[in-house]
Amino acid sequence: MKVRDFKNLLEKYGDRYLDNELVVLTEDPSIGPSANVSVKGIAPGFDWNTGKMMIVTEPRVIKKVNKPKKIRCK
C-alpha cells in the first residue's frame, strides 16, 4: 500500500474516527478484542529504506517466520 492510498482511505471515513487509537493487528491468540499493538509513530525511510514510510509500534513487532524444511543429503 502506498501512503497516498492510506491517506485516501482515511479521508473516506471523514472526521468520525479521528480520536480512535491507531493499532496494527497481530496473529497472537485472543479472546475478546483482536490482538494488536499500538502505533507509536511514523517516519520516512532513508538510506536503504528510501521510498518507504515506516510505522513504529509499541511494543515492537517481530516477523513470524515459518520453520525451514529439513533437507536430507544422501
Write the DSSP symbol of residue 31. Answer: S
Rounded distance between C-alpha atoms, residue 53 and residue 2, angstroms: 9
What are the sequence ranges of the domains in the chain? 3-58
Write the DSSP symbol of residue 35. Answer: P
pLDDT in tens, the chain (74 residues): 999 999 999 999 999 999 999 999 998 899 999 999 999 999 999 999 999 999 999 999 988 777 666 767 76
Specify whether the backbone of 62 is left (phi greater than 0), alpha (psi in -120 to 50) or beta.
beta
CB-hemisphere CA count at 13 Å for 15? 0
Predicted local confidence at residue 74, as pLDDT:
66
- CA angle (70 as vertex; 68, 73 as ends), nearest 5: 140
